[in-house]
Amino acid sequence: MKVVLDSLSKRFPPRGKKGKEVIAVNNFSFEIPHGKLVGLLGPSGCGKSTLLNLICGLYKPTEGEIFFGDETVSELAPEKRGVGMVFQSYALYPHLSVLQNIIFPLENLKGKDKLSKEEMKKRAYEVARLVQIEELMDRRPSELSGGQQQRVAIARALVKMPRVLLLDEPLSNLDARLRLQTREEIRRIQRETGITTVFVTHDQEEAMSICDLIVVMKDGLLQQIGKPQEVYDDPINLFVAKFLGTPPICTFDGEIKDGKLYIGKQEVMSPFDLPDKKVYVGVRPEGFVPEECGKFICTLSALEVMGRDVSLVMQNENAHTDKFRAIVDSDMPIDTTKTTVSLSLKRNKVFLFDKETEERVY
């Protein structure tokens, strides 16, 4: 089922007399193609959970429309939309067993959709097999690990065969190792069921690794939508460039003069077909190449060997952060006796942003 958002806005009324109206989602329009896994990505408070709740139906939009396929669902109550939702804290009913939790949505069905007890059990065991929790069916949620609870929550959301599956920060309550494993699981389950899935996360790595599409948000505004690699390689503005990638992009104050890019007094790259102006320079950590002939000279403050790669921790007076990191191949010869290092920059890893608008100019 494809999901279309058409100039969708959600504003919350001000709290108290001095409060300001909060615009959680501001004029959103985009289309999620059928059967894709989409990540809503942004820092805390950017409105991504609000957007999810709008799709789910727990919130009513202030303006705009939501379509599932060609049918508008903006006015429909959540239960009529055919969505499955996995909550951040899973919201498993603690007094019910795993089986009872999974069956719960089926027991709500009425009229012609009503299922027999055996049918419900059969369906519950089917999804349990899909998320691999068949042997836990008689346990209470409190007797399960975080990862298992997560699977139960997904099973409960899937059991009524929703048209759209929504996950709110599905991995945030898991430890690092489990998180890696579970995100693969989510990907696998989504592939096997083919259900259009939207999930919310503030962790860009999570989103990049499993999503077909990512939607980057900031302050209720859509920043960029696209395939993870495309957004990473071709960010639309400074915010998106900074938000994606670990270690983060390194940013510097720079200037274009006579078609040449300067960082401080050092001319680092040319030619650029741009008018003379001051810019922000963003360089991906993998965009630095230590070379004798490198034009960009930085102070080397530490070297971190991580097996496959080496990370150079460096300083430069024009950098926006006190220290920044470059990732280079471990066979690259680096003279650690020197306090400075000369670097060349890879052209496709360098982005230039306008100083006022922070929009990308190159």
Partner 1 sequence: MEKSKSKAWLYLLPAIIFLGAFMVYPLIDVFIYSFEEGYNSASQSYFGTGTYNYLYILHDPYFLMALKNTFILVLVTVPLSTLLSLLISLALASVKKIRGLFQTVYFLPYVTNTLAVGMVFMILFKKTPYTEGLVNIILSFFGQAPIDFITGPYWAKMLVLCVYTVWVVMPFKILVLTSALASVKEEYYSAARVDGTTSFRIFTKITLPMISPMIFYLVITGFIGAFKAYSDAVAIFGTDLNAAEMNTIVGYIYDMLYGNSGGYPSYASAAAIVLFVIVLTITVINLLVRKKHVFNG
**Rounded Cα–Cα distance for residues 25 and 220 (Å):** 4
In the bound state with partner 1, the residue whose beta carbon lies nearer, of 89 and 330, is 89
Residue 153 phi/psi, 5° resolution?
-60, -40
Helices (H), 39-97: 48-56, 78-81
- How far is C-alpha 153 from the chain's CA centre? 20
Least Å from the CB of residue 141 to partner 1:
11
Q: Could you tell me which residues come within 8 angstroms of residue 119 by beta carbon, excluding any fewer than 6 positions away?
A: none
Interaction site with partner 1 (CB under 8 A): 56-58, 77-80, 83-85, 87-89, 91, 93-95, 104-105, 107-109, 142, 156, 160
Minimum distance of partner 1 from residue 48's CB (angstroms): 16
Q: Smaller CB distance to partner 1: residue 158 or 300?
A: 158
The secondary structure of the chain in percent helix, strand, coil, rounded to multiples of 5, reads 30, 35, 35
d(CA 275, CA 277): 6
Cβ proximity to partner 1: between 156 and 183 the closer is: 156
Give the shortest CB-53-to-partner 1 separation in angstroms.
8
CB 264, min distance to partner 1, A: 52
Say which DSSP state 31 is in: E
Quick one: 141 or 290, whose CB is closer to partner 1? 141
CB 19 within 8 A of CB 12: no
Which residue number, 111 or 275, has a Cβ lying nearer to partner 1?
Answer: 111
CB of 138 to partner 1, least distance (A): 16
